[in-house]
Amino acid sequence: MAEQYIKRSLETVLKQAVREFPAVVLTGPRQSGKTTILKRLFGSRYKYISLEPPDIRAAATADPRGFLSLYHPPVIFDEVQYVPELLPYIKERIDEQRSKHGQYLLTGSQNLLLIERITESLAGRVAMLRLLPLSNREIMGNSSLPLPWEKRNKAPARLRVSYSDLWRSFLRGGYPELIANPDKNSSLWYMSYIQTYLERDVRSIRQIGDLISFQNFIRTLASRIGQLLNLSEISRDLGVAVNTTKSWLSVLEASYQIIILRPYFANIGKRMVKTPKIYFSDIGTLCYLTGIKDPEHAAAGPMAGHIFENAVLLEILKTITHRGTDPQLYFWRTSYGAEVDLVIDTGKQLIPIEVKLSSTPRPAMAEAIKTFQQISGTKASQGYVIHPGDIRLPLAPGVTALPFAEL
């Protein structure tokens, strides 16, 4: 029986990119659905070649021009990071027919050198898109729903999700294989995923001698999501050099396993040097790494607030990313302790968002947003307090409590 296909909100942008660019590169973590969406949308017209098998990789590396002669466009080259040497020759082929769009569709699950090579080789000839694991709105079939602060033609329907179902969905995560196969054991799947990731991606990005220490590093990061990142402290706890943990962090970011959230400052230079926070790109992965196996433990345990905060960030990040846009997301923190969990910079306005674990919104929850609005002046817009319950409620002028389900 064919596996259920879940419609992705990136489909519209992907089709448009194929109509407008000679090449399209689709990046994202392993198992996020890159190959599936390309085959679904273009499989009837495009040849499909995976560059992962060693013999295919060797042939493409040894004779790039000969290899490309075997596979004329339109063609999908999957996992192109294995043969980045192909990219200059793909550019050569594209330049022979520059006006012809949709010639090459490329996928990659590593960002470190791939983006660099693509920028060098295919500048002006390629659209870069990113596919993350499924968002909640994609799972629920509401992928076209505007975000709460965007213009809506009509008021959205009140979406209700039970508290236990919400936490159960967090444990399940957003990888399409787990969502399409609800009977599959998620703990076994994540165990396999982490091992595969360590063996395939990590070693191909960077030579890491001690995989056990690296796995301990990932678990340590998972236990500290939503907190200011202190690599010196983590290095000391693990008994490794700070430069090693910096290198490991870049590997996790390059393979789309983590999201680095920086503090918001009007001065852009300051954002890059100040201490960031770390989140994971999939809630199920996060729960697995922290040893959480049931919804009750997730909802009532010490990690609950951080898990929920990670889930809110991901829902917004995925929604914006799957429109083909690079989301500008930050947190805000003052020297005297005022903090807003998430600030969305739309270019025209700043949208402050607080995340609260309580399903009973109260006016006191709006205080940090009100402080941010006062300091930011006219650039700050309506703020939101996101909670796991089902109540939509005004908490203060310019601040509304909103259920997670309405994101």
Q: What number is the average pLDDT over the span 368-382?
A: 94
Q: Pick 208 or 40 by higher pLDDT.
A: 40
Q: What is the pTM of this model?
A: 0.93
| pLDDT tens digit sequence for 331-365 | 999 888 789 999 999 999 999 999 999 999 999 99
| pLDDT tens digit sequence for 296-317 | 999 999 999 999 999 999 999 9
Which are the contacts of 299, defined by CB distance < 8 A and separation ≥ 6? 163, 164, 167
In order of their start, the domains of the chain are: 11-130 (3.40.50.300), 136-406 (no CATH)
Q: What number is the average pLDDT over the span 281-303?
A: 95
| pLDDT tens digit sequence for 129-187 | 999 999 999 999 988 889 999 976 655 555 667 888 999 999 999 999 999 999 999 99
Largest CA distance in the chain: 67
Q: What number is the average pLDDT over the span 72-82?
A: 94
What are the tokens at 306? 């951080």
CA angle 133, 2, 294 (to 5 degrees): 45
How crowded is residue 261: how many other Cβ atoms within 10 Å of its Cβ? 21
Q: Count how many residues are written for the chain.
A: 407
pLDDT of residue 111: 61
CB half-sphere exposure, 36, CA atoms < 13 A: 21
- Ordered strands of the 339-345 beta sheet: 277-280, 258-263, 329-333, 339-345, 350-355, 383-387, 399-403, 393-396
pLDDT of residue 207: 63
Per-residue pLDDT at 112 exceeds 70: no
42 in Cβ contact with 74 (< 8 Å) = yes
Per-residue pLDDT at 2 exceeds 60: no
Q: List phi, psi (to 5°) of 149.
A: -90, 0
What are the tokens at 10? 């990136």
Q: Helix or strand or coil: residue 175?
A: coil
pLDDT of residue 251: 86
pLDDT of residue 1: 45
Q: Rounded to an integer, what distance in angstroms lies between the CA atom of residue 62 and that of residue 89? A: 13
User: Average model confidence (pLDDT) for the chain?
Assistant: 91
Per-residue pLDDT at 200 exceeds 70: yes
pLDDT of residue 144: 82
Show the DSSP H helices in 106-241 as ranges.
114-122, 136-139, 163-172, 176-180, 186-196, 203-205, 211-222, 231-238
Per-residue pLDDT at 403 exceeds 90: yes
